[in-house]
Structure 1
């Protein structure tokens, strides 16, 4: 065998070592980049968490003194349609008109010479079941909480609660 057919074992080992060293260097560089990106992402995440905490604290300050929304009273469109199907035209007005004529529903006795009557501006339809009505006389005023039901256009009233305040 000649020297050309069989390369020197020393040269082969050196080139193998160089290849292995290149691979190792490549992996070290990739690992360094990966670690650097991970550190950067951790910093980004911690900044985002700080911003989120700050935003939550500001929101808490704004909502601490928030005024609650008032409850909406009255008849909804669906309730209006239901009452119309039961034979009641213009339910809000009709309920107030009917109640104005029902002074016998007031469960308190007026003193002699005095009579209690409902106040037109004090009749409030709360929903499809209840009405809050103010009444007054010369010496007292009060409120009634009434339940109502509409059957064939007629209103049936029931007194649930009442108060009377002497003037």
Structure 2
């Protein structure tokens, strides 16, 4: 009986050691996870600080940045509207119409030249305005014109012009 009692006490002691071992293992694992969590929180806080610094520097560099340029030219909807008004190829036909009307240029030629629009200098800005370059071979200028299309005809009005 003493042997059985000794054996039972030995088993209880072994069980207790096993349980204490498991408990120590879980405590160590828990401590590791807590330490990693604290480290990760610090890393996230540092990353947030670095991100904020980078955003502040970017804001300083871009505070004087020129905004995105405005869209220039006719939209698909504007082209379709002009086609309904009788102009099949609006940009081409507007340029041709303007090239045929040098009398719209409000400046006199010099040294025997003749004022005319520069074909590559005609830019349709939108469904209302055109920016056109003109010259006579000696002097050059630009002008802003307003136009209206009705029944395939283009009517022009000079808004502003200047010589370079």
TM range (shorter): 0.5 to 0.7
The 5 Å alignment of 1:112-151 reads: 113-151=112-150
- Give the SS at the match of 1:87: coil
C-alpha separation between the residues in 2 aligned to 1:131 and 1:57?
Answer: 45
C-alpha separation between the residues in 2 aligned to 1:105 and 1:67?
Answer: 34
Q: TM-score, normalised by structure 1?
A: 0.66
> Which residue of the partner structure matches residue 72 of structure 1?
71
Larger displacement relative to structure 2 (68-77 or 148-157)? 68-77
Q: Report the alpha carbon displacement of residue 56 of structure 1 after superposing the two structures with TM.
A: 2.8
Q: In angstroms, what is the RMSD of aligned CA positions?
A: 2.8
Q: TM-score, normalised by structure 2?
A: 0.67
Larger displacement relative to structure 2 (58-67 or 146-155)? 58-67
C-alpha separation between the residues in 1 aligned to 2:52 and 2:84?
Answer: 50
**Does 2:156 align with 1:157?**
yes
> Which residue of the partner structure matches residue 93 of structure 1?
92
**Does 2:33 align with 1:54?**
no
C-alpha separation between the residues in 2 aligned to 1:61 and 1:120?
Answer: 45
Q: Report the alpha carbon displacement of residue 148 of structure 1 after superposing the two structures with TM.
A: 0.5
Indicate if the aligned counterparts of 2:111 and 2:138 stay in contact, CA closer than 8 A: no
Q: Which runs of 5+ in 2 are unaligned?
A: 1-33
C-alpha separation between the residues in 1 aligned to 2:45 and 2:150?
Answer: 61
Q: Report the alpha carbon displacement of residue 161 of structure 1 after superposing the two structures with TM.
A: 0.3
- Give the SS at the match of 1:98: helix
Indicate if the aligned counterparts of 2:94 and 2:154 stay in contact, CA closer than 8 A: yes
